[in-house]
């Protein structure tokens, strides 16, 4: 997709939300050998700045650095389709349309639509981000056991955030420390998707 669109003044910035950094994310990058920019975000900074709750999440940004579509689930291939049942092609078609037509694309949101979708952060979520930040600090200091209490508090304060859960579970024996794991939590949802649904308009 990138090789097709890059000649049209378009860039992909792919950011790994990985506390383990290159150690964890590196093998995926080496296997994919992407032409586009791949960055390593060990402190989950992009998640915090954009108030994201899951991966993969995408934001469309125009030539002036303005948001055109805010946070939404963005599968750009069908590797995990059995799990999330989202067709990548619909998303890619929307992206191609925007790259070609810019603000005139049906998928580029107007300012008033954007302002409706972008709400100020819930104070509990702000506190959750602080607890997660403290947990990450303690973990980096080698205080893995001490970090768990704060990961749990972040998860409690912002139960919608899957990054807080999945990153914390991945750093330890999730069953032992958290009494759960990703598969179990997805099963609990009983078919309900574990991300906010996409809101793409019908094609014109």
Q: What is the distance in angstroms between the CA of the first residue and the CA of the last residue of the chain? A: 22
Is 101 a residue that touches another protein (CB under 8 A)?
Answer: no
Q: Which of 142, 122, 147, 133 is nearest to 45 (CA)?
A: 133
Among 77, 89, 99, 186, binds another protein (CB under 8 A): 99
Among 3, 7, 31, 65, binds another protein (CB under 8 A): 65
Min CB(112)–another protein separation in Å: 11
Among 64, 191, 192, 197, binds another protein (CB under 8 A): 64
CA 40 to mean position of chain CA atoms: 13
**Residue 168 contacts residue 43 (beta carbons within 8 Å):** no
Among 158, 163, 164, 178, binds another protein (CB under 8 A): 163
Q: Is 44 exposed, middle or buried (0-12, 13-18, 19+ CB in 10 A)?
A: buried
Q: Could you give the 3-state DSSP secondary structure of residue 127?
A: helix
Min CB(190)–another protein separation in Å: 23
Is 195 a residue that touches another protein (CB under 8 A)?
Answer: no
Is 186 a residue that touches another protein (CB under 8 A)?
Answer: no
Is 131 a residue that touches another protein (CB under 8 A)?
Answer: yes
Q: Which of 41, 160 has the CB closer to another protein?
A: 41
Q: What tokens were used for 189? A: 């949802």
């Amino acid at each position: 997709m990138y090789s097709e669109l890059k000649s049209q003044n378009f860039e992909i910035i792919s950011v790994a939300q990985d506390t383990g950094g290159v150690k964890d994310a590196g093998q995926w990058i080496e296997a994919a050998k992407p032409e586009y920019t791949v960055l390593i975000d060990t402190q989950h900074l992009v998640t915090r700045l954009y108030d994201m709750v899951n991966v993969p999440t995408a934001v469309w940004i125009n030539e002036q650095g303005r948001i055109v579509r805010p946070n939404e689930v963005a599968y750009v291939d069908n590797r995990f389709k059995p799990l999330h049942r989202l067709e990548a092609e619909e998303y890619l078609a929307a992206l191609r349309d925007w790259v070609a037509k810019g603000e005139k694309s049906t998928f580029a949101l107007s300012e008033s639509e954007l302002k409706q979708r972008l709400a100020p952060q819930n104070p509990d979520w702000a506190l959750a981000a602080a607890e997660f930040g403290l947990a990450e600090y303690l973990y980096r200091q080698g205080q893995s056991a001490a970090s768990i209490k704060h990961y749990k508090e972040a998860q409690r304060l912002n139960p919608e955030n899957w990054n807080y859960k999945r990153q914390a579970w991945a750093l330890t024996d999730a069953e032992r420390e958290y009494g759960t794991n990703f598969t179990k939590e997805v099963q609990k949802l009983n078919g309900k998707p574990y991300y906010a649904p996409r809101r793409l308009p019908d094609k014109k």
